Amino acid sequence: MNIDYTKLMKAVIPTIRHCEVLGIKTEEAREGYLKMQMPWHEKLVGDTDHGVIHGGALTTLLDTTCGFASASALDPWGLAPTLDLRIDYMRPATQGKAIYAVAEVYRKTPNVIFTRGTAFHEGEEDLPIAHCTATFMQLDHAVSDGLKAWLKDFEVEKVS
């Protein structure tokens, strides 16, 4: 199936409550790759003295980006829950600037999908805020069939 992953992710991501609350949006997607953006907002600040985004918001951005990059690498497109997530925080995010995250699948086995991700400010890809590696589980078809039923609400065939 030839899927327009950007269109699909732009339909699915806004329905996920934590993505809605954090303002996470899809920028670009293709099989095994996703780029997302989270705006800076005062409600996400963890260090009020310096206006630094809370680490939990950044973790959510990276986990979501890596997770949906993994889901897009499945055939058929499916569900891939997080097994492990490791984040190296390199520097604080700059107050007032949106944070971007990119993730890519670099290895896929019959049971596990391996990803890497980076968070950064636009135009500052060489000065990452954080790097991560994450692994995701491929679910058997019985479990992923429930996701397919849920995805019908998004008319997946229209984004194919």
List, in order of start, the domains of the chain with CATH numbers: 5-152 (3.10.129.10)
Position with higher pLDDT, 95 vs 47: 95
Q: How does pLDDT run across 54-97, given as a tens digit for each residue?
A: 989 999 999 999 999 999 898 777 778 899 999 999 999 998 99
Residues 10 and 71: their CA atoms lie apart, in Å, by 14
**What CA–CA distance (Å, rounded) separates 120 from 113?**
23
Beta-strand pair 25-30/33-38:
antiparallel
How far is the CA of 40 from the CAs of 8, 68, 91, 126, 135, in angstroms? 24, 22, 15, 20, 27
Q: Which of 5-14, 20-29, 116-125, 149-158 has the lowest mean pLDDT?
A: 149-158
pLDDT at 156: 53
DSSP reduced 3-state for 85: strand
